[in-house]
Every structure is written in C-alpha cells, then in structure tokens.
Amino acid sequence: MKFFIDTADLNEIKEAASLGILDGVTTNPSLMAKIGITGAENIKQHYIDICNIVDGDISAEVISTDFEGMVREAKELVALHPNIVVKIPMIKDGVKALKWCTDNNIRTNCTLVFSAGQAILAAKAGATYLSPFIGRLDDINWDGVQLIEQIVHIYRNYGYETQVLAASIRNPLHIIRCAEVGADVVTCPLSSIMGLFKHPLTDIGLAQFLADYKKGNG
Ligand code: G3P
C-alpha cells in the first residue's frame, strides 16, 4: 500500500518525507487556501516546490468544471513537472476530461468520489487513481471503509487498473482498515501517519531497556 500525505504544508511534507516512507502528495484547493497560497502562478509554483521535495506522484487539482477548461488546466499542470497527476472532480465533464487525459497519456486522480457507481465510471474512463472520501462518508453515518472494500472488489472483478486511493482519512485506524480491505493507496494528514507509531508498550519497553542499560553501564 502506497502512503501519500494529504496537505499543501511544505513543513509537514518535509517531515513525512524524512521518514523515508512517503510515496506521494495530494492537495486540493481547500488545503492550498488553508496555508494562504492564492493566485494561479503562486499555486503552480507551490506544486513545483512540492515536486522538489517528494519524488513521487503529486496530485494537482483543476478548478474548471467544464470539459474545455479542465483539459486546458490539465495540459498546464502536467507541463509543470513529470510527477504531476491531474486531479479531476467526479462530474459529467470530469469523466469526459478523464477519458481525454487517458487518451493523451496524462495521469489522473478522480476526486470527490462517494459511490461505487462513480468508481465504475472513473475506471471506464481510465483514471490512474480514484479518491473515495471515507471520512466525509463516516461524518454522515455511512461506512467509508466499506465503500473502499466494495470498489476494490469491483475493480478486481474486471481487472480495472485504476488504483483505489483512500482519501479524507481522519485517524490511524482508517489507515489500518483501508489496508485490510486492499486499498492501493492512502492519503493521510501528518497526524494520522504519526499516530501509527503510538503504542504504550513500545514506550514502556524502551524506557525499561534504557534504564537497564544505564544500571549496567553507568
Ligand atoms: O484531499 C481530499 C480529502 O482528503 C479531504 O479530506 O478531511 O477534508 O474530508 P477532508
């Protein structure tokens, strides 16, 4: 399972990258706005800065909602760096744009996915990645991880190559459950990645080892 970080914050990206286990980065317009990156040129430069930190797939999202606009933006975004993956929303023109990108060798991440039906459409259009938002489903009392399991099952039935990228991860348990049901990728906030380290017995055991070493070695 690939690990992506879901942030536009360069310090968080550097911290996750320093662990040596980071495979990529996803961003979205909300995450860009959260850290005060505004204006088309600044946003493009920020994508380049991210690409210079992480040698992996970096999702950059279009803001157009019409086919022509999405295709124009896709061309501009992939020209920034070879690792850019164009993030396209799950709407009708988005599916058309996904197919255009597939036919023109541009890698894509279909975002804002909340159902298996949408997942089938994106796979048929040849999306590279599919981003179901599991936390937002949990927020409305649907089971987000169950959707990941359903989509993984459907994709395996037909050998679709689209990779299931679980997004809207909110905690470490989401990551573990996504791994159990076969997600190809998880994109997580730094806090969820760091949460995977935590176990009280590790802390107690390490403290004991160090105390015993000190007793014997001064
Ligand atoms: O990148 C999209 C997704 O991960 C958003 O997460 O927490 O805003 O639902 P969240």
**pLDDT recorded at residue 143:** 97
Please, is 60 exposed, middle or buried when counting C-beta atoms within 10 Å of its C-beta (0-12, 13-18, 19+)?
Answer: buried
Q: Count CB-CB contacts under 10 A for residue 158.
A: 10
pLDDT (tens digit, 9 = 90+) per residue, 149-208?
999 999 999 999 999 999 999 999 999 999 999 999 999 999 999 999 999 999 999 999
How far apart CA 22 and CA 153 sit, in angstroms, is: 26
**pLDDT recorded at residue 144:** 98
**pLDDT recorded at residue 218:** 79
**pLDDT recorded at residue 46:** 97
The owner of tokens 């164009």 is 86
> If you measure from the C-alpha of residue 14 to the centroid of ligand 1, how many angstroms do you get, rounded to a whole number?
20
**pLDDT recorded at residue 132:** 98
In this prediction the pTM is: 0.96
Active-site residue, 87 included:
yes
Q: Is the dihedral angle over the CA atoms 183, 146, 128, 155 positive or is it negative?
A: positive
Name the H helices within the chain.
10-18, 29-34, 40-53, 67-78, 92-103, 116-124, 134-139, 144-158, 172-180, 190-195, 200-217
Largest pairwise CA distance in the chain: 72
Strands 108-113, 84-89: parallel, antiparallel or unpaired by DSSP? parallel
pLDDT (tens digit, 9 = 90+) per residue, 77-88?
999 999 999 999
Residue nearest to atom 7 of ligand 1 (CA): 168
> If you measure from the C-alpha of residue 133 to the centroid of ligand 1, how many angstroms do you get, rounded to a whole number?
7
